Amino acid sequence: MRTLLPTALAASLLLPATALAAAGTGGVAPGETPPKQTPTAPRQDGGQGSNGGAAYGGEPPAGTPTTKRRGARRPKPHRRKRRSDGRPLLELFQVSRSSLFAYGAPATVRFQIGDDSPTVRVRLLVLAPGQRSPLRTIDLGDRPTGATQTYSFDGRAGGVLPQGAFQLELSARDARGHRLRTTARASNVHDLSFHWHRFPLIGDFDYGRSADGRFGAPRPGHFHQGQDIPAPEGTPVVAPRGGRIEYVDYQAGGAGCYVVLDGAGEDRDYAFMHLRRGSVVVKPGQQVRTGQKLAEVGSTGESTGPHLHFEVWEGGHWWAGGKPVDPLPYLRRWDSWS
Ligand SMILES: [Zn+2]
């Protein structure tokens, strides 16, 4: 690499740009020599400056707008003719989440399409990796062009999606059948994961060391019907699945403060026990979403320390037709993606 200027001089020439950059990008403190700047200083010798030919040595750090127009040697490139081929042009495509849960908070899809016609027909495709034919095709109808549009995606249109990784792809056609054109700036594809349940705690936890906290461990007169999950007092307890709150109650000699949830779209109930006193934020009959906070970990009732006692009942309701099953295999799986 040729160096035309002594390092110190090159660095001092760069100071104005550097100072500006420091304001915008939190970059380089005054007095420090920016490591990547010096080698680029000789660019003024006719090299093809990628920023259109700054008059001063060195390229400003990426994102510095100020030197762009200064001493430009060539005219700004002509604005590309928009829609030169008559196709609708994707101007914006954003999805507010990359991880979604069934019966959880939906993702907001925002898009904007430019075209000569006032509306275009828009579809949202859900694609599995490596598959060309979509798992779901969601018709978003005729949407106005030139204005931002939104759609709420919950993974349930056309039937609840299977679990896994997917891509959302926006497609559109105008009245003459011309298909959507995308650009490097606006891709029409967004990666997304979708799962049916999430882990019921947000924060640190473990599964306990002794077999005593496992499902099926002997208890006087019965057996342990759930899995104990030690966690710090106050750890948020969230719904592993959306649904309806069945019970909020207190049992001094056993469960302490507890909540029972009836999972939506499945034959399962969930029970959460020993919750911190006063921490329950749901009421019987209330609908909740997957991931919504229900209460906090505590140690109320018959408990020796803060933990969540978690039960899963299948084939009916909690203490009303259902049977408790071992929650641990579920918990481990949910933990792997939550
Ligand atoms: Zn327990």
Q: Domain ranges in the chain?
A: 1-77, 89-195, 211-337
22 SS3 class: helix
Whether residue 291 contacts residue 100, with contact meaning beta carbons closer than 8 Å, is answered with no
Centre of ligand 1 to C-alpha 287, Å, is 26
Centre of ligand 1 to C-alpha 302, Å, is 9
Centre of ligand 1 to C-alpha 191, Å, is 39
Centre of ligand 1 to C-alpha 278, Å, is 20
> Average pLDDT, whole number, for the chain?
82
Distances (CA, A) of 45 to 14, 22, 37, 69: 16, 26, 15, 18
* CA neighbor of 297 nearest in space, from 213, 224, 238: 238
Q: Are strands 189-195 and 99-101 parallel, antiparallel or unpaired?
A: parallel
What CATH number labels 211-337?
A: 2.70.70.10
- Over range 171-196, report the average pLDDT: 94
- 268 DSSP β-pair partners: 314
Centre of ligand 1 to C-alpha 229, Å, is 8
The distance in angstroms from the start CA to the end CA of the chain is 49
State the Cα–Cα distance between residues 150 and 90, nearest whole angstrom: 14
State the Cα–Cα distance between residues 179 and 171, nearest whole angstrom: 7
Centre of ligand 1 to C-alpha 224, Å, is 6
Centre of ligand 1 to C-alpha 205, Å, is 14
- CB atoms < 10 A from the CB of 80, how many? 8
- 308 DSSP β-pair partners: 229
Q: How confident is the model at residue 78 (pLDDT cuts 50, 70, 90)?
A: low
In the chain, pLDDT over 70 holds for what percent of residues? 75
**Residues 6+ away with beta carbon under 8 Å from 308:** 200, 201, 205, 228, 229, 231, 235, 237, 272, 273, 274, 275, 297
**Tokens representing 306?**
């803060």
Centre of ligand 1 to C-alpha 21, Å, is 57
Q: How confident is the model at residue 18 (pLDDT cuts 50, 70, 90)?
A: very low
State the Cα–Cα distance between residues 281 and 83, nearest whole angstrom: 53
Centre of ligand 1 to C-alpha 300, Å, is 12
Q: What is the DSSP letter of 21?
A: H
Whether residue 102 contacts residue 195, with contact meaning beta carbons closer than 8 Å, is answered with yes
Centre of ligand 1 to C-alpha 310, Å, is 7
Centre of ligand 1 to C-alpha 53, Å, is 70
Whether residue 246 contacts residue 262, with contact meaning beta carbons closer than 8 Å, is answered with yes
CATH of 89-195, one of 3.30.70.260, 2.60.40.10, 3.40.30.10, 3.40.50.2020: 2.60.40.10
280 SS3 class: coil
pLDDT at 315 over 80: yes
Centre of ligand 1 to C-alpha 221, Å, is 15
Centre of ligand 1 to C-alpha 59, Å, is 63
State the Cα–Cα distance between residues 85 and 178, nearest whole angstrom: 9
pTM, two decimal places: 0.73
Distances (CA, A) of 163 to 37, 106, 155, 193, 337: 48, 15, 10, 8, 11
Centre of ligand 1 to C-alpha 243, Å, is 23
More confident residue, 33 or 179: 179
Structure confidence by residue, pLDDT tens digits, 275-311: 999 999 999 999 999 999 999 999 999 999 999 999 9
